[in-house]
Each structure stands twice: as structure tokens, then as C-alpha cells.
A = this chain, B = another copy of it.
Amino acid sequence: MSMNSFGHLFRVTTWGESHGPALGATVDGCPPGVTIDEAMIQHWLDKRKPGQNKFTTQRREPDQVKILSGVFEGQTTGTPVQLMIENTDQRSKDYGDIIDKFRPGHADITYWQKYGIRDYRGGGRSSARETASRVAAGGLAREAIKQIAPNVQITGFMTQIGPHKIDRGNFDWSQIEQNPFWTPDAQAARDWAAYLDDLRKSGNSVGAVVEVVARGVPAGIGAPVYAKLDTDLAAAMMSINAVKGVEIGEGMAAAELTGEANADEIFMGQNGPQYSSNHSGGILGGISTGQDLVVRFAVKPTSSILTTRKTITKSGEETEIITKGRHDPCVGIRAVPVGEAMMACVILDHLLLHRGQIGENRGRIG
């Protein structure tokens, strides 16, 4: 119910703004006995950390996580885990225009209209910094998943920057860790580097598409209607700031398919059912099939750009604004570990929900 929480049983509440003393995630419902420490979570935060190459913002945010509760002698206790990240790069500066002018494409104007108060120093809760809390919670979720479904492997990667898509023929899992875009297409990585460099120099930004795949998810998690696995994945990804579209399996392209083309035929493998294809993205009727879970989402371009744009002030006067600062030319890059974290949270949550209602899978095949 709460407005800053996500999940049914594994329930993550994030808190904090980009310019307050700290931000973090309050994680309720984690199983006990999960081996975890700060370094294991830090690993994922470091992946998301800005300033690692010239394609992400040059702000320095060490993003050092502290575990404040719920862990004792290296294991979760089953009580809430508080993951806190202190904000360190809060240098006092001149906010100038931003106090009174609304940046087009930002949440500034809607925050003001709704709440009548706004921390103008950053994007508030809509800052990309909020996603650090998610990555921390996702790091914990990954370890908890191992306890229940040890074969799950979650991997995110970019499939498109601006108009440039990867060539699926070049897909190579091993490439993903080899380039700053986490893309499985080495040729695309080279092309994108040149493209994004030009864009960055011109002070512009661009959108992207991120795909997250979970391999090894057991068949049977999810539910048929409002707690469909697709529903919760769509909500999880759409809740990331700047995301404007979410696809499962074929996604929007499913509209173009015929029933004949779309139906994944079923065969009997050694370890259970196997499928001729995966148009469904690993979900039928809201429930996992055991195939790869495949989710994609589009991230819009950062609206903080060096081009002058028309806007208004709080008092309703028309004016112009230009947003200087240390921004990401393609915020989609750093969305990769965020998407992975959300995938981890959803999978763990549904593993727990499934175990709660059902126990073990009840229907055997073969």
C-alpha cells in the first residue's frame, strides 16, 4: 500500500533524496540464514557507480553501503535489513535558476504542483540516486535467491542506444562484462562509443533499451491475474525513473505476430518440458515456464541538457532555462544494474509467495 514500497513478501521500501544526509532501503521479509556482508552488496553498487568512464556522469558518489540491522554474525536474522548509503558529495553550490524555474522533462513542476514544497537541490526522490537503494536491496535478494533456487542467474545488458540496436547475430554472453555498455554485441559497443562521444560533446543526451534475462528460474512461480509475474516485472521496471516502456518476451512486437507464429511448441526434455521458442518470455498465464525470463525496458534521455529550453517560473512567467551540471549522456547505461536488481527482487518475492501458498510445485509432468 505504501507509496515507496515494492514487493509482497520480500518488501523493499526505499527512502532518501539525492541531497539529504543519506538514502537507503528498508528490506522486510528476507529469509533468515542468508550469508551476507557489506562487501557482497557493495559489489553491485560499484557496478552502478557513476564516474567510471566518460559515458556516465562525472559526479563522485562513493555509494558506500552500511548494514544497520537484520544481520548477525554474517547472516540475515529474518528481521528488517536496513541498507544505508550516506550522501557525501553535497557541495554547497549556487542553485540559481533551478529554485524558481521548472526544468522541462523533469519532475520539478509536478512535484511543486502536488506537494507545494520541493528539494530543488537535486531530483529529490526522482533522482537517479534513488536507484542505488534498489541495487543494494537487489544485492541482498540475489544472495537470498541462492538459498531457494540456486540455479538462477540474472544478467542485464543494453540492446539499443538511440536509434542503434544490437545485432542479435553477434550476441555473446561473454562480451557483456567487456565493454562500458554491458552489451553482448562487441561491434555495437565500438559503434556506440563513437556515437555517444559526439553526443556528450554536444551537450545532448539519448535514450536506450535495456534487457534483463533470468536463467534457471523454476517453473511455477507467479499467479494468474493481478500478481502475474509479468505484472510485477512490468511494475518493477516502470517504477525506475525515466523508464517509459516495458516488454515481456516479444513485447510490443507480439502485436505483429499470428497465433501460429507466436505459440511456443512444447517437447519433452530430460528434465521436463522444453519449448521450440520463447516468444512468451518465460511466462504463460502469469506463471513461469522454466524458460529464460526476458524483460526489456526503454529509458528516456536525460532532460538535463545544455540546450536552452522554454519554460515558466513558479509565479507563472515565461522564461528559458539551461541545465548545467554533471549529467549522464545516456542514463540508460547505469540502468542495467538497476534492472537486474529489480529482477532479483521480483524473483525472490515470487519464490517466497509461491512457497507460502503452495509449498512445493504440485503438478508433475511425466
Contacts and interface: CB of A to CB of B under 8 A. Distances in A.
A72 B363 contact: no
A112 B254 contact: no
A215 interface: no
B209 A252 contact: yes
A268 B317 contact: yes
Contacts of A311: 265-266
What copy number does this chain have within its complex? 4
Contact of A255 (B4, B280, B298, B305): B298
Contact of A9 (B75, B208, B304, B356): B356
A6 B239 contact: no
Interface residues of A, number: 167
A23 to B, nearest CB: 6
A125 B79 contact: yes
Interface in A226-260: 226-228, 230-235, 237-239, 241, 243-260
Nearest to A207: B255
Nearest to A220: B114
A100 B15 CA distance: 37
A115 to B, nearest CB: 4
A303 B246 contact: no
Contact of A305 (B239, B260, B289, B359): B260
B75 A117 contact: yes
Contacts of A219: 110, 113-114
A9 B14 contact: no
A114 B357 CA distance: 10
B362 A266 contact: no
Contacts of A355: 355-356, 359
A16 interface: yes
A223 interface: yes
B2 A5 contact: yes
A157 to B, nearest CB: 14
Nearest to A30: B357
A317 B357 CA distance: 29
Given A3-B223, A33-B115, A105-B263, 6 more contacts: A9-B353, A13-B26, A15-B28, A20-B70, A253-B298, A254-B301
Interface string A103-132: 011111111111111110001111000100
Contact of A126 (B276, B286, B310, B318): B286
A14 to B, nearest CB: 6
Interface stretch (A46-54, A176-184, A198-206): A198-206
A78 interface: yes
A64 interface: no
A185 interface: no
A77 B28 contact: no
Chain B CB within 10 A, most for which of A113, A257, A296, A312: A113
A69 B22 contact: yes
Chain B CB within 10 A, most for which of A226, A355, A362: A226
A245 B256 contact: no
